[in-house]
Structure 1
Amino acid sequence: MTLLFAATTAVCLLVLVAIAVHTDHHSRTNDLDNSVSHRADGLARTLFYDAVGTLRTDSLPEDELARSAEALGILEALPNSGPRIRYAYSSQAALPAQRELDEIWREVKRDQETILVTTSAVNGRAYRWAAASVWDNDRIGAVVLVGADPSQGEADHQRLIQWLALCCAALVLVAAAVGHLLTGRAMRPALRGLEQQEQFLAEAAHELRTPLATLRLVVEEGSASPQRAPAALDQAVRLVDRLGRLVTGLLARARMEAGTQEVELGPLRLDQLVERTIAELPDSTGVTVTTAEVVIVDGDSGLLAQALRNLVENALRHGGGTPVEVSVTAGRVVVRDHGPGVPPEDRTRVFERHVTGTASTGTGLAIVRWVAELHGGTARLSQAPGGGALVELLLPECTSR
Structure 2
Amino acid sequence: MLTSNRLSVVDARAIVGLPAVRGSSSSTTDLSPLDQHRASPAHLDGSVPLLGREFGGTLKSRFASLARKSGADRKETRDHGRSLVGRRANLEGRLGDDGDPGRVSAGTQEPLVSPLQRFQKAGRKIVRQGLQHRLQATPDDRKLLGRLGSLEVADGDLENAIEHLRLAAKGSDDDVAWTTLARAEVRAWEQDPATGHERLRWACDAYRRSVDLLEPGFVQVWELPARLLELGGVYESFGSFEGALHIYQRIASSMPLSSGFEGVLFRCAVVMRYMATLERAPRNGLLESALEHLDLIMQEQALRKGFFAESAALLYADVCMALAEGSAVAKGWAKASYQEVFDNRKAQGDKHAMTFRDWDDWIASPETQLQLSKEWSQKGEPALAVLAFEKALEAFGRQKEISPSSKAEPSFSALMDASEAYASFQRFVRQGEQDQYRVAQ
TM-score (norm 2): 0.18
Q: Which has the higher helix share?
A: 2
Q: Which has the higher strand share?
A: 1
Who wins on radius of gyration, i.e. which is larger? 1
Question: Relative contact order, CA 8 A, sep 6+: which one is greater?
Answer: 2
TM-score (norm 1): 0.20
